[in-house]
Structure formats: structure tokens, C-alpha cells
């Protein structure tokens, strides 16, 4: 959607807003919006995406009008006339795109939040969402950095087991077997719901142990 296209006003009911307020990156992997059982919720999230994008387009149009208004010669007046979008709007948009598995759009929205919010690192849900997107694109260096930052900010994060799982898998790929074993074990002993079964986690732990043993044998 571009700023030159006509837009149809979108309204969200209080009930819809309540449902949407409860959705963020934590539902990734658990809420399957692309399944037949979640058609209604997916439609609502798509509606919310259009709603937020419409807000951002309106903000851009108003800013362009103010920039081209000769009567607003003072920068101070211009600043007062401009409306400002809460950076969290971009973060929420990123969460919705993530849940829809629109990873490129999610990254774009998260990047905008990162640029506008000085204390972005305090938002654990943002860090989790951004880490998941980096992980999806195999940008392991950035995913590891982001997930480690999340665990530092909030060690008891609700999806800490999912973070440990992905850190373990990435360290395994990077041949950092001790770190991989540490994080996979932390995932295994966590009783929180997980997108991997305990059997799958044990499989990866066993695989790491074999690789580590083989690596030690080569070094010796």
C-alpha cells in the first residue's frame, strides 16, 4: 500500500482490540495463524496490520503536507503541528507480521522501532521477536547477540526455553559444543511449553555430545 492509494477507513471493536492487545512475539510457534482452525484470528490480525499501516500512511501524509505548507515557516510551529506515532506501533506491527510469518515485513517494522526507541533493549518482547526473525534468516551472529541480550534483561522471560533452544541449535551449527550443550540442557529442564518435544531436545543434546566427543578425539 502506498500513500497515493485511496484507503478505506478501518475500525476495530473494543473486543477486537482486547484480543489484539494479547498478541505479541510470545505466541510465535504456538499460535498457528495459517491453519484452518485459526482463520478468524488470522483475518483479525490481517485487519490489524491494515489498520496500523493506514495510521502510518496518514501520519506520513500529514508530515508531507506540513513540510510543504508555506505558512509553517517556523520549525517550532511545524513540530507542534506534526503528529507523532508511538514507536510501539512499529513494534506491534512487527509482532503481527511475525505471527503471520511475514518475516521480511516483521524485520522492517522491528528495525523502525529500533531506530525510534532509544531504550528498545528494555522491551523483551521486541528482542524476542527480532531474535526470531534473525534466526529465520540464518543471521546467527545477530540472533545470538539479541537472544543473549534478552536473557540478560529478563532471565526469567516466559519464552526463555525457546531462547535457550535456538541458542543451542545455533551454537551447534557454529561448532561451539559446550555452549550448545549448556543451552539445550537449560531448555530440557524448563517445564514451560515448548515448540520442541522433550524427545527432540534430547536428540539434539545427544547429537551435540557425539560431535563434541568426535571433536575432542580429533584434537587429541
The 10s digit of each residue's pLDDT in 48-67 is 999 999 989 888 777 667 66
Query: Is residue 215's pLDDT more than 80?
Result: no
Least confident range of 4-18, 93-107, 118-132, 195-209: 4-18
pLDDT, residue 81, reads 44
Residue 64 pLDDT: 65
Mean pLDDT of the chain: 90
* Co-location of 29 and 62 in the same domain: yes
Q: Is residue 102 in some structural domain?
A: yes
Per-residue pLDDT, averaged over 153-167, amounts to 98
Q: Do the beta carbons of residue 98 and residue 107 sit within 8 Å?
A: no
Query: What is the tally of structural domains in the chain?
Result: 2
Say if 151 falls within a structural domain.
no
Residue 185 lies in a domain: yes
What's the confidence (pLDDT) of residue 62?
Answer: 74
Residue at grid coordinates 482463520: 39
Task: Mark whether 122 and 172 lie in a shared domain.
Answer: no
pLDDT given at position 80: 45
| Whether residue 136 is found in the same domain as residue 35 | yes
Domain that holds residue 105: 11-141
Query: Looking at the structure, do residues 129 and 174 belong to the same domain, yes or no?
Result: no
For residues 104-129, average pLDDT: 97
Picking from 141, 171, 191, the residue at the C-terminal end of a domain is: 141
Phi/psi at 112 (5° precision) = -65, -40
Read off the pLDDT of each residue in 145-173 and give the average, rounded to a whole number: 98
Amino acid at each position: 500500500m502506498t500513500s497515493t492509494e485511496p484507503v478505506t477507513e478501518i475500525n476495530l471493536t473494543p473486543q477486537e482490540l482486547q484480543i489484539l492487545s494479547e498478541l505479541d512475539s510470545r505466541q510465535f510457534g504456538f499460535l498457528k495463524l495459517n491453519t484452518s482452525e485459526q482463520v478468524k484470528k488470522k483475518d483479525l490480525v490481517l485487519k490489524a496490520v491494515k489498520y496500523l499501516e493506514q495510521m502510518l500512511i496518514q501520519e506520513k501524509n500529514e508530515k508531507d503536507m506540513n513540510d510543504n505548507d508555506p505558512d509553517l515557516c517556523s520549525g517550532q510551529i511545524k513540530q507542534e503541528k506534526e503528529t507523532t506515532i508511538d514507536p510501539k506501533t512499529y513494534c506491534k506491527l512487527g509482532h503481527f507480521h511475525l505471527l503471520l510469518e511475514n518475516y521480511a515485513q516483521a524485520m522492517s517494522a522491528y528495525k523502525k522501532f529500533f531506530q525510534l526507541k532509544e531504550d528498545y533493549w528494555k522491551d523483551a518482547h521486541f528482542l524476542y521477536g527480532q531474535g526470531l526473525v534473525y534466526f529465520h534468516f540464518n543471521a546467527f551472529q545477530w540472533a545470538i547477540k539479541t537472544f543473549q541480550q534478552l536473557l540478560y534483561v529478563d532471565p526469567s522471560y516466559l519464552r526463555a526455553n525457546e531462547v535457550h533452544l535456538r541458542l543451542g541449535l545455533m551454537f551447534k551449527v557454529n561448532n561451539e559444543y559446550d555452549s550448545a550443550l549448556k543451552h539445550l540442557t537449560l531448555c530440557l529442564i524448563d517445564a514451560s511449553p515448548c515448540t520442541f518435544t522433550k524427545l527432540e531436545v534430547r536428540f539434539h543434546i545427544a547429537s551435540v555430545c557425539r560431535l563434541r566427543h568426535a571433536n575432542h578425539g580429533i584434537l587429541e
